[in-house]
Structure 1
Amino acid sequence: MSVNQSAGLLGNIRALFYYAGFYPVTIIYSLLCLIVTPMMPFRQRFKFVTTINYFYIAWLRICCGVDVKIEGRENLPKEGAFVAISNHQSEWETIYFQLLIRPQCVVLKQELLKLPFFGWALKLLEPIALDRSQRRGALKQLLSQGKDRLENGIPVLIFPQGTRLPVSERGKFNKGGAMLAVSAGVPVVPIAHNAGYYWPGKSFAKHPGTIQLRIGKPVEAAGRSVDEVHTESVEWLLGQLDQFDAQQQ
């Protein structure tokens, strides 16, 4: 057996143990959330529903040896809403970011809300669920609902690449986050990570290591053009991703 085959086999075994705990706990906790939280105020409901994420992250460390190192936490605004944008490589960021930014409203594809248990509980967090087949309507929905969330002091999280991509691919970063930030007059906070090396987005296997997550300084949007805000925030993201890749070589 080659080294790569051995690593792949071990990665699958780790993932098997991880999901053996992940799915039963998710089903039980999702049902509890559906019973307990619908009448709660949003902020209280968010805290309750996402409490399970602490288990997910701890269980991932125990079963798969995956940890995280954060740089730039001080760059997250202490007050006021903002638009956070990040690269999309893994399912990990959708779990961890709910612990990093509390509360938040995430922009996602509406199909996720149809997933049994997980999707039902996710709907309780009032995400902006877009129909990606309706591009013009999706943008209008993002700007309308996103501005409403921001005016209520809720940060909005967007993955501008639109879908999970392998670590070596960059794809296209759409301008929705910059458009929303400029429209609402709030900053953009770029967040970069390399989770795809340890929890690949389209792979069952999990690999031990420490995920690096870096939070950039807020990019001011008030009084600036969409292109200026988009270019500054995405260039920072791409620079961090290039550094992550260089470290893995």
Structure 2
Amino acid sequence: MKITVIGGTGLVGTKLVKALRATGHDVLVAARATGVNTYTGEGLAEALEGADVVVDVSNSSYTDEAAAKEFFYVSTINLLTYGEAAGVPHHVALSVVGTDRLARAEGGYFAAKLQQEQLITSSGRPYSLVHATQFFEFIHTITDNAVRDGAVRVADVLVRPLAADDVADALAQVAIGDPLFATAEYAGPEIFTLEELARIDLRSRKDDREAAPDPLGTYFGARLSSRDLLPDATATISRTTYENWRTQKPSGEAAVFE
């Protein structure tokens, strides 16, 4: 299959490209660095020509709602329009578990992601949406974002994070299959409180600060209920634990789901 990966030079994109090529697929890496810009349309027609699947794992560098919405709106419309013109029979996009809940609670970047999903699902084009929980690779960022006056005060919520390698493998499996016309959720095997994850992260960095749950704390500005970041019971669960990822940091290996 010929598969065009939008955002193919990013964290998940590079892993996805490697996974797809390892199984014999013809993969085109589409990113600004390779002359493809989904926002302006530059190089997009050529990138999608003859593609069997387009997988969008691109991201906005803007986190404020107006700018993120503009990026995702224009880029997604361009991908859908150019994809239809090229006859691409499957549009796959990566998003976040709980996007709708995060958008209602905070708006901002998550409102832009929700808009992206709505554009895809209402387009009439064959599609699959992949929802992933938080990446192990972003736990540092989550912890650092919770620092207030030198103390780590995290939202009192539950999370079920997974490795970016596992996300890439999930995307690869979805991409080579038939369009789902639905959303598939993927999550890690363990449920943590953000407090537990923050403590593990701080100790791994030899940071002696203590993490504590804050009932009034927010997750990147969103005030959430304790289970709002967890997937549904039908989610596909990976087998890579946080401890295994931390100690082994596997790269490019096929993820195993159960």
What range describes the TM-score normalised by the shorter chain of this pair?
A: 0.3 to 0.5
- Structure showing greater relative contact order (alpha-carbon pairs closer than 8 Å, 6 or more residues apart): 1
Alignment TM-score, normalising by the size of structure 1: 0.32
Give the structure with the larger helix fraction.
1
